[in-house]
Amino acid sequence: MTMPGGRGRIRVLNVAEKPSVAKAVAEILSRRGGGFRSREGRSRYNRVFEFEYAIGPQLCHMLVTSVTGHLMELEFDDRFRKWHSCDPADLYHAAVRKHVPQDKLDIKRTLEEEARSCQWLVLWLDCDREGENIAFEVMEVCTSINHRLNVWRAHFSALIDREIHEAVQNLGRPNKLFADAVDVRQEIDLRIGASFTRFQTMLLRDAFVLDFAGDDRNVVLSYGPCQFPTLGFIVERYWEIQSHEPEEFWTINCSHTSDEGTTTFSWMRGHLFDYTSAVIVYEMCVEESTATVMNVRNQEKLKYPPYPLSTVELQKRASRYFRMSSEHTMKVAEELYQAGYISYPRTETDSFSVNTDLHAIVGEQVGHPAWGSYAQRLLDPEASLWRNPSNGGHNDKAHPPIHPTKFSAGEPGWSQDHNRLYELVVRHFLACVSKPAVGAETTVEIDIAGEQFSASGRVIIAKNYLDVYRFESWGGTILPTYTIGQQFIPTTLTLDSGVTRPPQLLSEADLLSCMDKAGIGTDATMHDHIKKLLDRCYATKDSNTRFSPTNLGEALVMGYDEMGYELWKPFLRSMMECDMKAVSIGSKRKSEVLEGCLQQMKACFLDARLNRVKLFEAMELFFERSNRSGADTHNIGETVRPCDSCHESDMVLKRRPSGDFMVGCLRFPLCRNVVWLPGSISEAAVTSEVCPTCAPGPVFLIQFKFRRLEIPPNYDVDHLGCIGGCDVALRELAEICGTGSRNNTGMTARAQRSTEPPSSTRRGNSRQDSCMYCRRTGHSSNDCPSQVSHSHGAPSIRIQKSRNGSGQVLCSCGAPCALRTANTETNRGRKFYTCQSQECGFFVWEDSLENGGTHGCGASHGSSSRASSTARRGGRGRGQGGARTGGVTFVSATGEPVSGSCFVCGDPSHFANVCPNRGS
């Protein structure tokens, strides 16, 4: 950097990522000036350290404080934060905001107060993408209060004197591209994770008995764009094992014992799966059992030391050598880093820079009682043990490989894991600057009856790096001496059988390798994704650190797999990670990547929701269905239309606990707009077709399936309908069947809106332009001349002996009647009796029996002059007669008069559904 002139002292605010790092930086920089002064900030955990220091020629009054990780959070606006506040699909375009949460406000106040009087801001955040994003969060807070701040970035990889002083004397500028890449990841993960998590949880949690959870009502079935592909690796390996079918094979084994020892020869064919073929070959060998040495090869072999240590390799080796979880490994490594004993533990780099003083790092370890003598040999030119480390081919341009930064023979506060991990880092570093191990390998090939066998032995000539890297071995056996052309009779020659074995479950090291290879997560986040699988009960880990899916984890993967989507495969996330890397180097724009990824994942989400039955079917294989009251099974469905009441959310198709369907606003209970649907619906699904008439739109049509026995015979079981008000058939069925379950009575809707179509809609429907009785225009159905004689003055038939001895009401045909409840607006809740026979038209109000009323007419509490919509369709309700005789007016199941005649032949004594001329 180019430093400004040194005139006058300036105040410099230094901000680190953690309180411990702030204190370490302050201690190192203030050591030459006599130490620092410490005082509390607004947050008692984030103190402020003050001291004098010179950056180049510039005298500075340094103030060092810290944040605790991210200062800001990304979240949805308040109206989208509650799970039932919106359709989960809306989360792909819902407004989001980045703000300082309540528990970080004290840190924000400290930064604002200190920044107000400073001229410079130096950012000491971790030198990776995540740290760069936090740096810009700090910048936003500080520059909002003091826009004249000169902002600098310190780059360091270890909390040691050399690194810190070099960083502050060579300040740079923050990298906006790195911060943008993290912004992209945060927004993508928030939108995808929230939408799928809400969808899965609301769909499945209350529908099944989740026996792994104490209180399964609070279970969250989370979905993460990295978490789910990680689960996919575990499930896929588990399925491979489950589907494996052992297959028997046969192999020929040969051994030879001499004065120098015993040699075991392996059949170069390996094995055969055909028993007959194996027996034939074996018998040939037995008949001509003399073995002839065909070839003896002696060659030098090298076993190379490992590449410098990256984060993923640290996690894999700690799991393999010490059975430490990746999450615990990173926790211990972070503590060692903050104490200054190792370099920054989150790095993808596995090659050292040519400017790194490797000899100095080795020199610090000379005094250790365990590996100090080996470090001394490395520095001795006569030992010829030194070798510059290999290049692993990865460099994140931010941090060097993990290496020791300070000598320790063990600290009082260290646990066994601290000691083991520090030992691994030191021994790994010493190994990677050492020469490879050297061995002499001998291979002997023999021939028995035309079949080839071989044996190999190895002798280690120089162990080199293996002397210090005790975690690896390079064993071998010493072969007796053989010469080409030598012949001997095998000591044993056997035909042995075996069976193929399935692969093992994935170990934690295997899983990390799969994630790293597929680009799932980063070196800093992989352990978090694995931990979430265990926390969410999607997978378990045994004592050998091998993973198995739980029933829940397998069911979720199976459900999405049955849909035909590979959401559990790594490909989608791998492409996203590549796009985020492209943002970090400037080859793609932030907005471009966001738009492309979210558009792709929203399409997957909508398809998955349409095929959600696959998730149900998969869950049913592992869990019992729940009969819990208030279960949200199918509760939140597809969007039907924008809410025309609150104008802030959508109306969605829902299924009530009783099994009935409704269309309600997602803002309930803030908005109580609802459309009750007929109680006879067995299935309902929103389609992509839009009603051309209803507004405000779009109003998506719903494909209904009705229960045949609960609707009049002249209505179709399958019906593509609209809830916007234009669908006459749907309104009629709601009046005939009611809007509740057969066992529910008096179901009402608060703020139920009228479903009558607007006048323009009625005019546009040709069925409303002509009389429903005579099918002619020029008069309305209420004024039809053909109906006058039937709709008025119908003779009343007085009930006589209508109750039998048991108190049952008997129909005129002698059959017992069913007691039902009316659901029309004028008679809702009123009881009536109808004959259970489909061919009988008997009807009577319950209260009219007590008052000596009539039957057959169905007088209403309200005005009886209004023609029923059922009458206009010629339909009949459940238990309603299909013909009328003796001038008796037909009635619907709701008790309203049904007047009309057959529109096929015009005969008023029957309707079209029983017309003898129908179809002729």
Q: Which amino acid is at 680?
A: S
Chosen domain end from 570, 591, 620: 620
DSSP H helices, 6-104, are 19-30, 78-81
Q: Where are the alpha helices (DSSP H) in 215-350?
A: 227-243, 275-287, 311-322, 326-338
Q: Say if 41 falls within a structural domain.
A: yes
Is 387 part of a structural domain of the chain? yes
Query: The domain that contains 141 carries what CATH number?
Result: 3.40.50.140
| CB-count burial class (<10 Å; 0-12, 13-18, 19+) for 727 | buried
Average pLDDT over residues 193-220: 81
Q: Decide which of 140, 174, 208 is a domain's last residue.
A: 174
Task: Classify 96 as helix, strand or coil.
Answer: strand
> What is the distance between the alpha carbons of residues 768 and 867, in angstroms, rounded to a whole number?
14
pLDDT at 173 > cutoff 70: yes
Same domain, 495 and 519: no
Let me know if residue 790 belongs to a domain: no
Position 4 in a domain: no
Q: Are residues 76 and 106 in the same domain?
A: yes
| One-letter identity of residue 777 | T
List 282, 337, 341, 344, catalytic entry: 344
Question: Is residue 780 a part of any domain in this protein?
Answer: no
Cross-strand pairs, 452: 447
Query: 3-state SS string over 788-821?
Result: HHHHCCCCCEECCCCECCCCCEECCCCCEEEEEE
CATH number of the domain at 220, please: 1.10.460.10
Q: The tokens of 456 are what?
A: 């190999």
Show the domain range for 587: 183-243+504-620
781 occurs within a structural domain: no
The contacts of residue 210 (CB under 8 Å, 6+ apart) are 216, 219, 552, 623
Least confident window among 618-632, 634-648, 663-677, 844-858: 844-858
Q: What is the DSSP string of 307-340?
A: PPB-HHHHHHHHHHHH---HHHHHHHHHHHHHTT
- Position 813 in a domain: yes
In three-state secondary structure terms, 25 is helix
Q: How confident is the model at residue 321 (pLDDT cuts 50, 70, 90)?
A: very high
751 φ/ψ sector (left φ>0, alpha ψ -120 to 50, else beta)? left
User: 208 and 329 share a domain?
Assistant: no
**pTM to 2 decimal places:** 0.66
Same domain, 537 and 644: no
Q: Are residues 669 and 727 in the same domain?
A: yes
Least reliable range by pLDDT among 586-595, 624-633, 889-898 = 889-898
Grouping H, G, I as helix, E, B as strand and the rest as coil, residue 424 is: helix
Whether 280 and 344 share a structural domain = no
| Other C-beta atoms lying within 10 Å of the C-beta of residue 397 | 12
- Tell which wins on pLDDT, 42 or 780: 42
Active site residue 45: no
For the chain, the first-to-last Cα distance in angstroms comes to: 97
Strand bridging mode 10-16 / 58-66:
parallel
Same domain, 454 and 381: no
Tokens of 779: 């008069």
d(CA 257, CA 138): 75
Within a domain: residue 634? Answer: no
Residues 168 and 23 in one domain: yes
Instruction: Kindly tell me if the per-residue pLDDT of 609 is higher than 60.
Output: yes
* Greatest alpha-carbon span in the chain: 127
Among 395, 418, 435, residue at a domain's last position:
435
Residue 107 three-state SS: helix
pLDDT at 914: 55
Span 31-90, pLDDT tens digits:
888 889 999 999 988 999 999 999 999 999 999 999 998 999 999 998 898 888 888 999
Residue 149 and residue 295 share a domain? no
Q: How confident is the model at residue 859 (pLDDT cuts 50, 70, 90)?
A: very low
CATH number at residue 431: 1.10.290.10
What is the chain's Cα-based Rg?
Answer: 41
Residues 252 and 234 in one domain: no
Same domain flag for 830 and 852: yes
Number of domains in the chain: 6
- Specify the CATH number for the domain of residue 261: 2.70.20.10
Kindly state whether residues 154 and 194 are assigned to the same domain: no
Which residues have C-beta within 8 Å of that of residue 82, sequence separation ≥ 6? Answer: none
Sign of CA dihedral 82, 87, 92, 96: negative
